[in-house]
Structure 1
Amino acid sequence: MDNKDVKIAVTGDVCINLMQWSIDRKCTRDLSWKNYPNVFRTFKDGEALLLSKLVEMSTGVSVIAPQIGSVDGYIQDKVLVSSTELELFPITDSDNNKTYRVKQYLGFTGPTFGEPKLFPIINDDENADMVIIDDENNGFNSNEDFWPLALKSLEKSPIVLYKTNRLNCESLLWKHIEKYHIENTVVVINGNDLRSKGVNISRGLSWEKTALDFVWQMSNNPKLASLAKSRHLIVPLGLEGAIYYNNQGETAQSHLYFLTNESEGEFIKESQGKMYGMTSCFVAGLARAMVSGMNKNDKFICLDDGIREGMVATQKYFMNGFGKTVEDSFPNPLIFEEKENDFIYKENIQDVLIRNTSNPNCQGCWYIIKDKSSNSLLEIAYNIVKNGEKSALRFIPIARFGNLKVVDRTEIENFRSIKNLMTEYIYTSNVVRPLAIAVFGTPGSGKSFGVTEVASSIAPELIVKLDFNLSQFHSISDLATAFHKVRDLSLQGKLPLVFFDEFDSDLNGKLGWLKYFLAPMQDGTFREGDSIHPIGKAIFVFAGGTSSTFKEFCGENISDEKDYDKFFREFQSTKGPDFISRLRGYVNILGPNQTDNEWDQLFIIRRAMLLRSLIERKTPYLINERGEAQIDYGVVCALLKVGSYKHEARSMEAIIEMSRLSHAKEWEQSHLPSKEQLKLHVDEEEFLRLLMKDTFFSEKIETLAKDLHNSRLENHRELPDLDLPCKHYWELTDEDYKETLRSRVKNIPDALQKIKYDLISVKEKCEIIEFTEAELNILSVNEHKQWSLEKKEKGWVYGSIIDEKNKTHSSLVSWMILPKEEKDKIMKDIKAWPKILADAKLKIEKMKYLCYCEVNGFDAGSR
């Protein structure tokens, strides 16, 4: 089926958007009214009317839809009218250019009499190939007269895209779809719409947490029973993610699609305004991909591509807004076109199969970083140090809070929880008491740095940090003096971020300081003699000195019942429970040392990120123009693998400072401090042994790239029109081509993960495996996607011919429509991988168990 022959019917509930905005035109020489702000208003199509426009733009095919003509007084009295106030907002968070977006939604105006008017599809056709419905639960779902003919006909089976903000399982429309069209229906409902109906799905803590919450709710929440019967359900999560739920009867699988550098809700800042119609734009992007794949045997093979198309288009839709003047073209058709220097490409969007089990151990241990990479964590860590986290973690979720970068899921969730608390507190007026949070960690783990960066990322111009170490206070008067300093800052209009370090130190006995914080935390006041003083708005951060975790502080790690009873009696006598009741949050800082041998496997990633950060700050001259750290692999290995650092982050910093690097071009083993100096910070014998360990996979990249080239030279010899330098020997090929092959080799471990294989180093040449047809197809699709992303990031765009000068390439299309001969080239390369890797003594083997649930046989994707 050619795309131009496809016919789409778009219909549903209809509304008109009344938009108003004001312009302040100062004029003193004209009529008096012009001295005041001039208020303008206009009408724009909404709901199904807007959706039909977006679909027509995205697909470029024939769209039949309702039409209402001019918005005269008669129509306004009949239809639903949504009123919004517009304002100019920066296009990006730090952009001087502005566009109109919604400042606030003012509400709806209903028709004068009766229900909102519905409109029939003009020139309706029962042979429509696709039906797209916008069901806002405003009457359309109960009025069969306005349903499209293709949907009502029992002899037709169109693809149905069913967009709704609340699935009414009792409506006539849903019952009809469920009975006759459920196999061909894709339901789209926004994540926030689910939450507004009482579905508890976390937002903005971590992608893992949100995904696992969704899966649990789909399996257990009776409110979602009807949705759970859907064969295809897509839930957009803000502009940054989406979940695809695929239910084929006995089992259901859910895939998470996400941007690695954003969490849900982070793309849009408060200062950027709002936009209506974003879910409609997502559906239009989804339709675009499905139209492209309508000639395939599997009608839903394009959903993966469609989700990516929808996410990219929605972000562009928001960025464009209503334009510099509201009279600008809206919606802008360019949102569905891929251009050079786009801020996001669909290949940037990652996906992962969501683990699905009721086992609580699996809920806690699932980390996307484990599922997204078949490299050992050590190899990922090495890549972070060598090339920076932007390169090494481009497929892994990463959270940034100012200068703090975090990849450990536990830390991400803890820090985002604290950030949410702080944000709510900072922007809430009329608060009478400080916000109290606690932070725990071993000395040197970075307790102060982490919380400070989180706070500064919210309001750097407002927050002023104060530090007080209670172990150095001698009496209550010292604490009163500290409170006065806090109060003075608050009176100056600043927000004090107050660190009470070692708050759990002794004062006339264990935890003696706690009782003196109860009134300040509860009432926002402190006593000095007979006087009571208000503290004002402040954030209290209580940093533990003797307890490294919250559980340790509360005694929850004491297993012996008698010991715990004794601890709790003492804890009560020191007002410990009262103190905890006044806390609004806490965070355990995970430093560079491993906290638990069984569960904490990501310590090596934390070390790598800290080490890379220290190199960038203290020895930036060791990083070349390509962003590569010039450091001996043995040095990296020892720094990453040594058992523990005696003083945590301070020890890592000390080793860099003690190394002789002031005039070095590369950090070599000879630059390290002496054995006696190392002893201050690590087990020096273990550290020196680790310097001589085996090389990483990355040390074999050059050989593997050369072998892959030689394989191409052999496999593609029969192709006379081969557009590759591999017509020549490796030594005669240009450096750009070599770098492309090196990049392809670096991606092999991550690609193998997608078919559940690990890559491990062995001493002898191993057996050469053969990929199944299904595995080969998955690898080929992934290989083409990664190649496309790298091309686009270098400025290449699609063109009918390959043109080096103008950077156009005919293969920059989705895998579905890539010519067969191009697919065959990719598959031949991948078929050669097992032999190339085996020759390099790298073994491809099935992935080892990653967590408790896999050991016990739980299926990561089944419901």
Structure 2
Amino acid sequence: MAEPKRIVVAGDVRIDELDYEALAASDGARWERSTQARRVELPGDSLLLARLLREVAGEGVVTYDMPSKELAGAHAIRARASLERSAGDKRRQATTWRVGRFAGFTGPLDQSQTLWRITTDDADAELVVLDEAGNGFADAPEAWPEAIRQGDRQPHVVLKTRDTTLRSALASHLLTKHSGQLTLLIRADDLRAHGANISRGLSWERTAADLLRQLGANPALSKIGACNAVVVTFGLEGAVFLRRTGEGTDARLFYDPLSAEGDCAANAPGTMIGLQTAFAAALCATVHKGGPEALSDGVRHGLRAARLLHATGFGALSETPDYPKDLLAQSFARDGTTSEIALPNAGPNSDRGQDWSISQTLSGARLGVLASELVVRGPDAIVRGTPMAKFGVLTSLDRAEIEGYRSVSQLIREYATRPNASRPLCLAAFGPPGSGKSFAVTQIANSQGQTPIEKVVFNVAQLTSPADLAQALHRVRDVVLKGKLPLAFFDEFDADLDGRPLGWLKYFLAPMQDGEFRDGETLHPIGRAIFVFAGGTRNSFEEFSAPSSEAASPEGAAFRAAKGPDFVSRLRGYVNVRGPDPVYTGDRSAILRRALVLRSLLERKVPWLVSPGGTVAMDPGVL
């Protein structure tokens, strides 16, 4: 009988000290009937990674012996955090423990770094897992496992690190001796921290294209390409997996089509430590079982493990906080959340990926069929894996619209968390007449769910003088005084005033910049508000702002005279609402936008045509 494959886990060692308040006893001494201040110590970094792997590999995992409390107290690095009672999402009652506040780190009592040794090291291990946290292990060869120090051994190596430049002694050794067997696991946030310009939470297409471009063009990340395989995680919702092949690099995106990066964490109060470690453990457990060829499955299992840990937290409130049991076993269950798709090649000088669309790739020439399915069965029954953004009753499948909607949503969410903001958040919305500009921004604003919002609408084309604008701003101020966040729409803000093109722009500058307006001789503060400028004569932000780049033309001169560049500089963001009609020749997504509009009209205007199962009985000829 063949011996089981061995896994060696090594790296930086950390002990996590978690403070929490246990429930008071119903009887006993006074102190027992008071809130109980408790502390629990849990393994961190490589110790946690080994513990999770032992769930599925048992004694096949070789790692450090867990140090005694006395030894750990004298020599270990410790992280301290306070736990809080938390819920699965913001609308539910607290059921679990999550981190409410991270207090920081403490080092060894004698300030000397202790590097732990693996007493039962296995030089013949087939899988070596390294958790490098920047605390000395990477630059101490004597602490590395024998399987990677001995030149004649070629185990599969998984390196989990936050050092995306790969300049440590450990990284240099692995790239020199084990690059053909090396899998690198890094976070997108760590790449961003080292200067990589990678978008966050706009669309999976844009995020993936940004990553590939940065890996090809950013000199600080050049060593990453020498690894045999690379996994880059994007929060709990997605990951990009790259593997070298005989023809180049195979790049695949794993993603949650109904979420963007950061959604899971934003929807559940509190944070969790160990999420990347849970991902690494599930990835390595999959490789241990199926070999390096199973890395792709390991990415899927890793995402599920990280999401499960975040959802579960440190366990039920009635129990001592701890990492969930059988986390990896649960992560191997079938996961209907994560989709997978091959990425187009987008090198440093390539424009490929800029307009690439997952929905069009999945449906291919079947866009018409997909549009019909949208009308008949609704957006929830579309092709699996098609990215979708939902804000209230607003739904979009169009990549460009999704990016615009999410960009505006991020700005509104961030602004809503600033109770002392003194200047308005200024946004612009453009689109053809009837495209739904006001509807779209209203749904996005109401979906932030943090602050009560009241919508007020003004048609600038119907105002006759700046005094009318002052009265409109008084109405905005009245909403602020009621304790609500006004969502003020200025429709047709680009209308003429007394025959002057864009004549109203200069009167918006002071309220936008200073958060106050003049009425007679008195200045009035506006307070916290959201201004939305909806275009009436231009169908896109690019069309509106184009004269800024045409300084020598009459249009450019007129735009400057109307204070157009000053107005644009005060906008924090914009969205182009495309509407149901094609916006350019070859706009293949228009049929999907039109199908969503039709489905929405059926549900709102003739709901009796929609069955309890969500199906609309409609003759194909009508579609």
TM-score of the aligned structures, taking structure 2 as reference length = 0.94
Task: Note the C-alpha offset of 1:132.
Answer: 0.6
- Which residue type is aligned with residue 628 of structure 1? T
Residues of 2 paired with 1:543 and 1:224: CA distance?
A: 41
Match of 1:434 among 413, 421, 424: 424
RMSD: 2.5
Q: Give the gaps of 5 or more residues in structure 1.
A: 295-299, 637-863
Residues of 2 paired with 1:24 and 1:337: CA distance?
A: 31
**Is the contact between residue 83 and residue 97 of structure 2 (CA under 8 Å) also seen in structure 1?**
yes
**Is the contact between residue 258 and residue 350 of structure 1 (CA under 8 Å) also seen in structure 2?**
yes
1:582-615 Cα deviation digits (max 9, x unpaired)? 11111111000001013x2200011111112222
Alignment partner, residue 20 of structure 2:
21
- Which residue type is aligned with residue 174 of structure 1? A
Residues of 1 paired with 2:397 and 2:77: CA distance?
A: 46
- Give matches, 1:588-599, under 5 Å: 588-598=576-586
Alignment partner, residue 289 of structure 1:
286
Residues of 2 paired with 1:212 and 1:372: CA distance?
A: 17
- Which residue type is aligned with residue 536 of structure 2? G
- Give matches, 1:424-823, under 5 Å: 424-459=414-449, 461-509=451-499, 510-556=501-547, 565-598=553-586, 600-636=587-623
Does structure 1 residue 302 correspond to structure 2 residue 302?
no
Deviates more, 1:501-510 or 1:160-169: 160-169
Task: Note the C-alpha offset of 1:23.
Answer: 4.6
Task: Note the C-alpha offset of 1:518.
Answer: 1.1
Task: Note the C-alpha offset of 1:121.
Answer: 1.5
Residues of 2 paired with 1:180 and 1:75: CA distance?
A: 33
Alignment partner, residue 9 of structure 1:
8
Residues of 1 paired with 2:311 and 2:27: CA distance?
A: 36
Task: Note the C-alpha offset of 1:574.
Answer: 1.7
Task: Note the C-alpha offset of 1:247.
Answer: 2.7
Aligned partner of residue 362 in structure 1, secondary structure: coil
Q: Give the gaps of 5 or more residues in structure 2.
A: none
Aligned partner of residue 150 in structure 1, secondary structure: helix
Does structure 1 residue 56 correspond to structure 2 residue 54?
yes
**Is the contact between residue 405 and residue 444 of structure 2 (CA under 8 Å) also seen in structure 1?**
yes
**Is the contact between residue 454 and residue 485 of structure 2 (CA under 8 Å) also seen in structure 1?**
yes
Residues of 2 paired with 1:200 and 1:235: CA distance?
A: 14
Alignment partner, residue 37 of structure 2:
39
Aligned partner of residue 171 in structure 2, secondary structure: helix
**Is the contact between residue 464 and residue 496 of structure 1 (CA under 8 Å) also seen in structure 2?**
yes
Residues of 2 paired with 1:60 and 1:35: CA distance?
A: 41
Residues of 2 paired with 1:12 and 1:287: CA distance?
A: 15
1:473-500 Cα deviation digits (max 9, x unpaired)? 2222221211111111111211100001
**Is the contact between residue 164 and residue 191 of structure 2 (CA under 8 Å) also seen in structure 1?**
no
Aligned partner of residue 540 in structure 1, secondary structure: strand
Match of 2:272 among 252, 275, 279: 275
Change (3 A) 1:275 1:326: farther
Task: Note the C-alpha offset of 1:333.
Answer: 3.0
Aligned partner of residue 633 in structure 1, secondary structure: coil
**Considering only CA atoms, is the larger Rg found in Structure 1 or Structure 2?**
1
- Which residue type is aligned with residue 576 of structure 1? G
Task: Note the C-alpha offset of 1:345.
Answer: 0.8
Does structure 1 residue 333 correspond to structure 2 residue 307?
no
**Is the contact between residue 238 and residue 265 of structure 1 (CA under 8 Å) also seen in structure 2?**
yes
Does structure 1 residue 185 correspond to structure 2 residue 177?
no
- Which residue type is aligned with residue 11 of structure 1? A
1:811-856 Cα deviation digits (max 9, x unpaired)? xxxxxxxxxxxxxxxxxxxxxxxxxxxxxxxxxxxxxxxxxxxxxx
Task: Note the C-alpha offset of 1:250.
Answer: 6.9
Change (3 A) 1:26 1:430: farther
Task: Note the C-alpha offset of 1:26.
Answer: 9.7
1:105-163 Cα deviation digits (max 9, x unpaired)? 11111112344322112311112121111011211112222211222222222111111
| Aligned residues with identical type, % of pairs | 38
Does structure 1 residue 251 correspond to structure 2 residue 248?
yes
Residues of 1 paired with 2:347 and 2:593: CA distance?
A: 28
TM-score of the aligned structures, taking structure 1 as reference length = 0.69
Residues of 2 paired with 1:121 and 1:137: CA distance?
A: 19
Alignment partner, residue 232 of structure 1:
229
Match of 2:104 among 101, 107, 114: 107
Alignment length (residue pairs): 622
Residues of 2 paired with 1:105 and 1:449: CA distance?
A: 40
Alignment partner, residue 152 of structure 1:
149
Residues of 2 paired with 1:218 and 1:58: CA distance?
A: 34
1:255-306 Cα deviation digits (max 9, x unpaired)? 1110110111111126521111111111111122212213xxxxx2201111
Aligned partner of residue 414 in structure 1, secondary structure: helix
- Which residue type is aligned with residue 588 of structure 1? N
Alignment partner, residue 773 of structure 1:
none
Residues of 1 paired with 2:614 and 2:473: CA distance?
A: 46
Residues of 1 paired with 2:256 and 2:250: CA distance?
A: 20
**Is the contact between residue 352 and residue 368 of structure 1 (CA under 8 Å) also seen in structure 2?**
no
Residues of 2 paired with 1:334 and 1:349: CA distance?
A: 24
- Which residue type is aligned with residue 237 of structure 2? E
Alignment partner, residue 143 of structure 1:
140
Task: Note the C-alpha offset of 1:351.
Answer: 2.6
- Which residue type is aligned with residue 302 of structure 1? A
Aligned partner of residue 435 in structure 2, secondary structure: coil
Residues of 2 paired with 1:352 and 1:470: CA distance?
A: 48
- Which residue type is aligned with residue 133 of structure 1? L
Alignment partner, residue 317 of structure 1:
309
Alignment partner, residue 858 of structure 1:
none
Match of 2:238 among 241, 246, 249: 241
**Is the contact between residue 58 and residue 284 of structure 1 (CA under 8 Å) also seen in structure 2?**
no
Aligned partner of residue 380 in structure 1, secondary structure: helix
Deviates more, 1:89-98 or 1:439-448: 89-98
Change (3 A) 1:357 1:167: closer
**Is the contact between residue 429 and residue 437 of structure 2 (CA under 8 Å) also seen in structure 1?**
yes
Change (3 A) 1:355 1:608: farther
Residues of 1 paired with 2:458 and 2:520: CA distance?
A: 21
Residues of 2 paired with 1:465 and 1:303: CA distance?
A: 50
1:220-250 Cα deviation digits (max 9, x unpaired)? 1111111111111101111110011223477
- Which residue type is aligned with residue 237 of structure 1? F
Aligned partner of residue 466 in structure 1, secondary structure: strand
- Which residue type is aligned with residue 40 of structure 2? T
1:169-215 Cα deviation digits (max 9, x unpaired)? 33222222122211111111111122122222111011011101110
Change (3 A) 1:57 1:459: same
**Is the contact between residue 5 and residue 61 of structure 1 (CA under 8 Å) also seen in structure 2?**
no
Task: Note the C-alpha offset of 1:457.
Answer: 0.7
**Is the contact between residue 21 and residue 40 of structure 1 (CA under 8 Å) also seen in structure 2?**
yes
1:424-466 Cα deviation digits (max 9, x unpaired)? 2111243221111111111110000000111111136511111
Deviates more, 1:197-206 or 1:321-330: 321-330
**Is the contact between residue 6 and residue 61 of structure 1 (CA under 8 Å) also seen in structure 2?**
no
Alignment partner, residue 71 of structure 1:
69
**Is the contact between residue 257 and residue 352 of structure 1 (CA under 8 Å) also seen in structure 2?**
no
- Which residue type is aligned with residue 323 of structure 1? G
- Which residue type is aligned with residue 7 of structure 1? R
**Is the contact between residue 22 and residue 37 of structure 1 (CA under 8 Å) also seen in structure 2?**
yes
Aligned partner of residue 69 in structure 2, secondary structure: coil
Task: Note the C-alpha offset of 1:375.
Answer: 4.0
Aligned partner of residue 18 in structure 2, secondary structure: strand
- Which residue type is aligned with residue 512 of structure 1? G
- Which residue type is aligned with residue 590 of structure 2? F
- Which residue type is aligned with residue 62 of structure 1? G
Aligned partner of residue 267 in structure 1, secondary structure: helix
